[in-house]
């Protein structure tokens, strides 16, 4: 399936004072929001010497058998792309349990280093090596608005496969191993970071001055894990549409999937999916003053649009121009919060609503075009999680699954995995800065879930939360794509803020969709959204203001 369904990116390193070390010399060129960069002299020899290096288990903050560098290759600069010379390091963090998968990682060490590092998060079930060579995955294809790859700007970058077995193993089957599941639940963030920082600090003779983590979806979960569990390790973190609740998301996806595919008449075919979307946009598009195909005032849309307006006469299915009563119930089940029979970690009792009546695309993640549901994103994730995570049985089945029969296991998984703890005291005291980005049309991680986490942060910290957290919501943006395909150089904004500069001020989002490429909107802080001022080019952010409930 399309890997954009669960995508993710980036984590980092820390550093003390400045001093000269043999083999390292500062240059005269200033790095962004920092001092002069550090240059590794005789980089070819230094890079080659890393091959075979062992990182002691005592240098890694969670149990391992240490880490080993398998290869280290000096890669020449590429003038055409602007990529600098760097040492490409591949290695493994050796699992503590010898039957568990090791964590494969890549670390990229630029010869001219800006004294900062970026750790990239994973995606989906993890398993693919995140190299850290490109623009973070949630940014999509590189563009000027998204910024250049961090490595090209002098950052040391790294990522891993999350310590998940790949190859012939079915997706999610790693969960039958306790350590592999713990790595997936967030421990790989710490193990990868500690091994990478030890190697990097040895190479440069010093630790990074700033350590950043960037991730989206599963990587967004890992970003919040970094803030909540390992806050002292990071100076800045970016979390795009964080999939921070494994059990809550999966149980709600499974509920929605069954509403559509396990009840006769509950499924909506492609024509009916489009019917719903078009009706929502027709009613709600103009609530922000701009007819641009984007529903910005989603809460206003909740009041303005009624799915009952699409009911077929008598409630029976009479064609693609209307909805049956059963199909309306399918939509309403997704457009309402899904409540659990018992609290999950950190007191979470519900998730949703999903944006099915707020302009989201109903296909791909939830509904397919064939009507059997097996090709959907929801089925791709729920079936393995039910069988391997919850039932812990490779021969198990997700048919007619009732999570209430597994309450103890579901609660234990929620405690192990979920990143819903509002206590980020250590991160805040350390001076850390957190940027969270969410889209209104995300059918995998609903805006309501991310709203709820930010609301818990606000309850804990009050108005001071904005001293170290900024939460932005982009209308029309989904899960790494959307009718407004968000492009924003969030790393540059974070680096300026965490480096002692100003917090983000009136950031501007750029649409990267080919048909509307270049149009801009103000990137508004929750709970605000962009409203058209009533005059001027609707493709220009300057002609919009952030409006809505509440004040910031």
User: Are the C-beta atoms of 436 and 237 separated by less than 8 Å?
Assistant: no
Q: Is the peptide bond before 527 cis (omega within 30 degrees of 0)?
A: yes
In the 8-state DSSP scheme, what is residue 79? Answer: T
Backbone angles phi, psi at 128, to 5 degrees: -90, 140
Tell which residue, 12, 483, 402, 430, has the closest CA to residue 231: 430
Q: Hey, what are 241's tokens? A: 């549409």
Closest CA to 246 of 363, 358, 384: 384
Q: What is the DSSP string of 140-156?
A: -S--TTT---GGGGT-E
Tell me which residue of 222, 228, 221 sits closest to 243, measured CA to CA.
221
What is the residue-wise DSSP string for 284-324? HGGGGS--SS----HHHHHHH--GGGGBPGGGS---TTSB-
User: Residue for token digits 């700007």?
Assistant: 153
Question: Which has the closest alpha carbon to 324: 262, 358, 275?
Answer: 275
How far is Cα 267 from Cα 247, in angstroms, rounded to an integer?
Answer: 24
Best CA proximity match to 108, nearest among 81, 140, 137, 84:
84
How far apart CA 209 and CA 463 sit, in angstroms, is: 28
Please name which of 2, 306, 285 lies closest in space to residue 124, comparing C-alpha atoms. Answer: 2
Q: Which residues are catalytic?
A: 217, 442, 479
C-alpha 294: how far from its chain's center? 22
């Amino acid at each position: 399936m399309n890997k954009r369904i669960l995508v993710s990116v980036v984590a980092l390193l820390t550093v003390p004072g400045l001093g000269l070390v043999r083999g390292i010399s500062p240059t005269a060129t200033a790095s962004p929001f920092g001092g002069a960069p550090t240059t590794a002299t005789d980089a070819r020899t230094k890079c080659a010497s890393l091959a075979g290096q062992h990182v002691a288990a005592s240098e890694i903050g969670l149990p391992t058998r240490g880490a080993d560098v398998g290869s280290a290759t000096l890669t020449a600069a590429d003038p055409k792309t602007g990529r600098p010379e760097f040492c490409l390091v591949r290695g493994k963090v050796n699992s503590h349990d010898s039957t568990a998968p090791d964590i494969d990682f890549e670390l990229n060490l630029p010869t001219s280093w800006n004294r900062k590092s970026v750790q990239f998060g994973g995606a989906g079930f993890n398993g693919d090596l995140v190299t850290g060579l490109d623009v973070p995955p949630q940014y999509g294809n590189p563009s000027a608005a998204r910024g250049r790859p961090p490595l090209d700007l002098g950052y040391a970058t790294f990522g891993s496969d999350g310590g998940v077995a790949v190859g012939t193993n079915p997706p999610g089957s790693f969960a039958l191993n306790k350590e592999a599941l713990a790595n997936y639940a967030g421990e790989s963030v710490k193990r990868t970071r500690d091994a990478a920082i030890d190697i990097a600090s040895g190479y440069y003779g010093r630790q990074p001055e700033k350590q950043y983590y960037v991730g989206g979806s599963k990587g967004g979960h890992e970003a919040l894990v970094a803030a909540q569990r390992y806050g002292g390790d990071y100076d800045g973190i970016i979390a795009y549409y964080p999939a921070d609740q494994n059990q809550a998301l999966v149980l709600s996806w499974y509920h929605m999937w069954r509403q559509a595919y396990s009840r006769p008449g509950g499924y909506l075919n492609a024509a009916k999916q489009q019917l719903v979307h078009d009706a929502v946009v027709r009613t709600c598009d103009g609530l922000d003053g701009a007819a641009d195909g984007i529903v910005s005032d989603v809460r206003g849309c909740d009041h303005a649009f009624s799915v009952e307006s699409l009911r077929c006469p008598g409630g029976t299915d009479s064609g693609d121009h209307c909805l049956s009563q059963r199909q309306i119930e399918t939509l309403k089940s997704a457009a309402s919060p899904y409540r659990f029979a018992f609290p999950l970690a950190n007191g979470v009792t519900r998730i949703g609503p999903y944006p099915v009546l707020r302009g989201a695309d109903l296909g791909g993640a939830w509904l397919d075009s064939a009507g059997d549901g097996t090709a959907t994103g929801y089925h791709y994730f729920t079936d393995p999680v039910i069988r391997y995570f919850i039932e812990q049985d490779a021969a198990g089945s997700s048919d007619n699954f009732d999570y209430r029969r597994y309450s103890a296991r579901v609660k234990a998984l929620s405690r192990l995995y979920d990143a819903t703890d509002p206590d980020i005291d250590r991160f805040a005291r350390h001076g850390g800065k957190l940027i969270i980005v969410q889209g209104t049309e995300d059918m995998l991680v609903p805006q309501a879930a991310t709203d709820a986490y930010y609301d818990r942060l606000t309850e804990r910290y009050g108005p001071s939360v904005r001293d170290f957290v900024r939460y932005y919501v982009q209308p029309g943006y989904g899960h790494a794509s959307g009718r407004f395909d968000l492009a924003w150089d969030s790393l540059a904004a974070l680096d300026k803020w965490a480096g002692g500069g100003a917090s983000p001020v009136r950031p501007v989002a750029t649409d990267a969709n080919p048909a509307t490429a270049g149009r801009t909107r103000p990137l508004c802080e929750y709970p605000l959204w962009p409203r058209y001022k009533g005059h001027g080019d609707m493709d220009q952010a300057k002609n919009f203001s952030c409006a809505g409930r509440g004040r910031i």
